[in-house]
Amino acid sequence: MSESIDHRAVIMALSAIDREELTVRSDWPGLLRLAVHFGAILGAAALVLAKIPYWPVLMLPLGILIIFLFTALHETIHETAF
């Protein structure tokens, strides 16, 4: 039988400085990822609209990029996005 780890004990074992570094909130990393994600969507959509050779192949990654916008919505609803 394996020994279970109590997350509260692990958190309490951290120094105050380590605990603060791990729990600090910042919007910038999330906003940067969102900007890159929208940039990828716009880039793929521009290539599809330009009808470059084999443009239908880009429809799959474009669809995946659009579908993955749901994850940001989901985490925002739980207030854990950033």
d(CA 11, CA 4): 15
DSSP 3: P
CB 24 within 8 A of CB 16: no
Residue with tokens 């380590």: 18
Instruction: Tell me the average pLDDT across 70-80.
Output: 83
Q: What is the pLDDT of residues 4-53, one digit of tens each?
A: 888 888 888 889 999 888 888 888 888 898 899 999 999 999 999 999 99
Produce one character per residue of 58-74: b if its CB has 16 or more CB atoms within 10 Å, e if not.
beeebeebeeeeeeeee
